[in-house]
Structure 1
Amino acid sequence: MSTYSLPTREVLECIKQYIKSGETVEISDLLENNSILYREVIFFKKWSKNNSKVPLGYLYINEKNEIISQKTLKERLAKLAYFLEIFYNTENKSCIVNTFEDETKVKKDNDNYRLMTEGLEILTKDGNMDSQQVKQMVLKLPGIREESNEILKSFMAKAKEYRDEKKYFDINMLEKLLLIYREALSINLKKIRLVYSAKECYENINKISKKKRKQIFTRFNYKLNKSLTKTSYMMDFFIKVVNSCETISRKTDLQYFKYLETIEKTNIDNRVKLNRSKKN
């Protein structure tokens, strides 16, 4: 579900002096501040590579389609608009709802874990002790996933309840959902730390599993080859997680959330920074 849509003719008429050649415009769902309703306007290129939507500018308008110029108010609305996307806009990759794993995804993960575990057991029998350590790590992943899914179910239920009740997004809803959102991120951090805990093992297992797949006996044994192929694939995945999340995995919970707050503030400030002026 997107939190943005095409603007009405009335809105387009009011903001036409801000739209540059080759641009298209989208407008957000309702934002509420001090009992007044607003919307965020985003400017994009009409045609972009891979249909990617990179914001080129922003505006904030009230119920009368008047342009908001007060900086403090723009900052408040930018914060609301940012979290509206993070909480509700599933078309945005950063939306927390996208991390929920449905039955299809859970089954696929379980199949991957099963095959990987079989491959790790093969390597353990060959005397590779790293594979035993990674196996113990992998066995803990489904529990963390279940914990994550439960908190995300709670988040989605509350998010729907608030939107159904008010039809707009305000600071009160943000603060309530932010508590559950932070809890979900904390569980995700636990998963990252778990994967990081066996970081010294992945390269070795990847190398050994690829080597074993080339052996004559393994090459013509479909079951063994499939398990080792999945093991190698998952080691590549774990290595990517370690490389991309190394800084995060070393932070305490307090440091992690301060880090997130810095990123959030930067993204919100960028919305204000890109606020549009009229065309010359």
Structure 2
Amino acid sequence: MSTFDGLVAVVTGGASGIGAAIATRLHDDGAHVVVLDRDLPAGEPAPVPGLPDDVRGLRADVTDSEGVRAAVEQVVAAYGQIDILVNNAGIGAQGTVADNDDAEWARVLDVNVVGMARASRACLPHLRASEHAAIVNVSSIAATAGLPQRALYTASKGAVLALTRAMAADHVREGIRVNCVSPGTVDTPWIGRLLDAADDPGAERAALEARQPHERLVDPTEVAGAVAYLASPASTSTVGVSLAVDGGMHELRLRPR
């Protein structure tokens, strides 16, 4: 019997990058998986390019409360339940505290923080009916380590970490476990675009690799493995934690070579 047999998982931002790796891992472990992503076509649940054939996708933008609610109801209509929500949808931001205007601050926080609240709010009534309910939020090493040129992004992911703990306290006695995963720098399309825009992409990649103690970027499948652990029905005493997947970046202080 697979870990998630008979369970239904929703993954926001699941059409690419970390979200796609999470959707694939939960599917491979037995879950029925539906990804919500603003880049998918509108309409009924449909296969998602690049994901296993029986993973389904729905168009939904986490900044649109009604759109998220409607997509969640489509999932329930198709599968009868929701047991797992992975709040993965997010966007990046660069610069110091002075480099982004008010509109950009509002845009990033709306996606990265309020978007998680919207998806959770829509799923909560269905999660309360599940015997194996779990929410996993995707935070970041940026929530706990001061990274240069990431003020806005760091603020959003710090909020995700705090939100995770508050949600865990609110819902643990309803039988809903809430945790988060905090990756280091992950080898995703967004990081690829940043590297492509750098003056020296090779040197920039080497610098990103070097700041993680295991000296490489995190693979999306490693983040997916952590999410699978946190969402698993076998992890019933794991509540309100942040699980680092960062090659030791948060805890280790190695001497220079």
Q: Please identify which structure carries the higher helix content.
A: 1
Instruction: Normalising by structure 1, report the TM-score.
Output: 0.26
Query: Bigger radius of gyration, 1 or 2?
Result: 1
Higher strand residue share = 2
Higher relative contact order (CA 8 A, sep 6+): 1
